[in-house]
Amino acid sequence: MIPRPELLTHLSASYELTAGATVSGDLVDAVRLALPVLDLRPGDSGEIDVRRDPALGEEAYRLTVGSRGIEIVAGGRAGAYYAAQSLHQLLPGSSYRSAGPVSGSFIGPVPGVRIEDAPRFSWRGLHLDVARHFFPKREILRLVDLMAMHKLNRLHLHLVDDQGWRVESRAYPLLHEVASYRPRTAINYYREPAAYDDVPHGGYYTLDDLAEIGAYARARCVTIVPEIDVPGHASAILAAYPAFGATGERHDVLDRWGISPAILSPLPPTVEFLTTIFDELMGALGETPYVHIGGDEVVLDHWAGSAEITAYRDSLGLATTNDLQAWFLRRLADVLAERGARAVVWDEAFVSGGLRQDTVVMPWRGMGVGRRAAAAGHDVVATPVFPLYFDYAESATADEPMAIGDAITVEDVAAFRPAPGEWTDEERARVVGAQAQLWTERVPDARTVDYRMWPRACALAEVAWSGTGQEGFSGRLEEHLGRLDAIGVEYRPLAGPHPWQRRRPHRPSGVRVADVMARIEDMTHDPESTRPSM
């Protein structure tokens, strides 16, 4: 994320960089985009030379700043983009303001350095749940900008859950007309009496919005990973199209948290329905190498109680309802593979068995099940509740805004190792990255997203890029917060929240993350552990 001392070779001279510096060579659009503070026009003084070196990886780069100018050598467009981000981090924090340095166009000297760098992991992700609370397009584009600044490159959007559907569908318009809205939202804490705000909540992204988001993200070396979570978490879908459910009964879009028994049918019409949705979604986003299909926290009772579904299971030669769940997810993964995309699933889908070998597994219930998935030959993205669920509070005090539980700190994230040393070389090689999750039951607005995400996501960026938290991170983070200030990110201060950030106070120790991890990791050894476990 932030250039680290061991990557820097200090040269004897600095370079005077002005807002009129020019860029020559290949990959210039990436450099221009990453350094908007510069007015990169031909004919002015100064030069940044950008060249491609095929021997480097796509995201690798060398950045040299000396008396003869600035040279960027990159393996691909992403490498040039990240080199320019590192160059930007050598400039004053004021250069991150939208209008550039407030003192004028002069940027000032850049220290003479040589940086050689490449990421340890190819998947460096953030997840945002836009189903529980909807965040408009402008917030998604802003998050892409912040991710790109930190060299994070996967934005996982959780687009559907019991509490809402968030994508336009021209083939099935009731999805955005009906399923995107709930009349009220629960505001009570865990195990407290039900209470509601009685304020309608809703919203969705049009297909044109998705096209814009996809193009905007690709330009900044960020891949959008859409999630259509099935077959459970289906109340919103079945509020619009109950015929695709296991019982045919209509459900309401949930106004409370938790999970309902609503589940999609595994029969062929449902597969055809979801295939159409995938086609619309991928057609809008453009190049979509990954689609998340969920597979988590599924209540299979309605499948087991349906004579039609049981007969269909028997016709497929499957012995149990869990086998049918595995078959259903594999069938959807086959559909995606035909369209050039890889399926991504939560770890319950791996435990149920039967996945395509190219399916990516996200072990949210702990790295123990992640290790088993890696040993089975699946690519793994580390996503454990501890320390990568950012909906948990950062301290066990009532000073925090209401959170699902406590506590996960910046230091916890920085200490995380996605591919632990005790794993075998083959298992570690299957870990393709790490991703933090922000579930939004108690994240009602963009200001709270900022508070929950940053600066913990800064620590994630360091770990996902280098494989470990590096020595001196805390000092570099304190300096980096000045850049977030300049951008206007309302992060959680390291010393604790500002008074105005203490809305709806947290209930300390209502849910302890250590207790959660012990319970859910134990459940991963049960092949029928699809039921909700939180």
Taking a C-beta distance cutoff of 8 angstroms, is the pair 27, 52 a contact? yes
* Amino acid letter, 418: P
Please state the φ and ψ torsions of residue 245, each to the nearest 5 degrees. -90, 165
Exactly one of 129, 297, 379, 462 is catalytic; name it.
297
Exactly one of 133, 233, 302, 506 is catalytic; name it.
233
Asked about 297 being catalytic, the answer comes back as: yes
- DSSP letter assigned to residue 422: T
Exactly one of 161, 427, 441, 462 is catalytic; name it.
161
What are the CA-CA distances from residue 160 to residues 140, 226, 234, 327 (Å)? Answer: 16, 10, 8, 21
Alpha carbon distance 37, 102 (integer Å): 11
Residue 421: CA atoms inside 13 Å, Cβ hemisphere, count?
1
Asked about 161 being catalytic, the answer comes back as: yes
Q: Collapsing DSSP states into helix, strand and coil, what is residue 219?
A: helix
Asked about 422 being catalytic, the answer comes back as: no
* Amino acid letter, 387: P
> Any idea how long the chain is?
534
Q: Collapsing DSSP states into helix, strand and coil, what is residue 295?
A: coil
Q: Which of 366, 7, 402, 428 is nearest to 186 (CA)?
A: 402
Q: In angstroms, how far is CA 345 from the centroid of its own chain? A: 14
Tokens of 442: 């108690």
Taking a C-beta distance cutoff of 8 angstroms, is the pair 400, 443 a contact? no
Tokens of 183: 């009349």
Taking a C-beta distance cutoff of 8 angstroms, is the pair 277, 266 a contact? no
Task: Please give the helix or strand (H or E) that residue 294 lies within, else none.
Answer: strand 290-294
Q: Collapsing DSSP states into helix, strand and coil, what is residue 249?
A: coil
Q: Which of 89, 119, 106, 138 is nearest to 38 (CA)?
A: 106
Task: Please give the helix or strand (H or E) that residue 128 lies within, else none.
Answer: strand 123-129
Helices (H) and strands (E) in the chain, counts: 19, 20
For the chain, the farthest-separated pair of C-alpha atoms sits apart, in whole angstroms, at: 78
Q: Which of 409, 431, 404, 401 is nearest to 419 (CA)?
A: 431
Please state the φ and ψ torsions of residue 139, each to the nearest 5 degrees. -75, -35
Taking a C-beta distance cutoff of 8 angstroms, is the pair 373, 361 a contact? yes
The three-state DSSP-derived secondary structure of 427-473 is: HHHCEEEEEEEECCCCCCCHHHHHHHHCCHHHHHHHHHHHCCCCCCH
Tokens of 252: 């309401």
The region, left, alpha or beta by phi > 0 then psi within -120 to 50, assigned to residue 372 is: alpha
Q: Which of 19, 35, 37 is nearest to 97 (CA)?
A: 37
Give the residue numbers marked as catalytic: 161, 233, 297
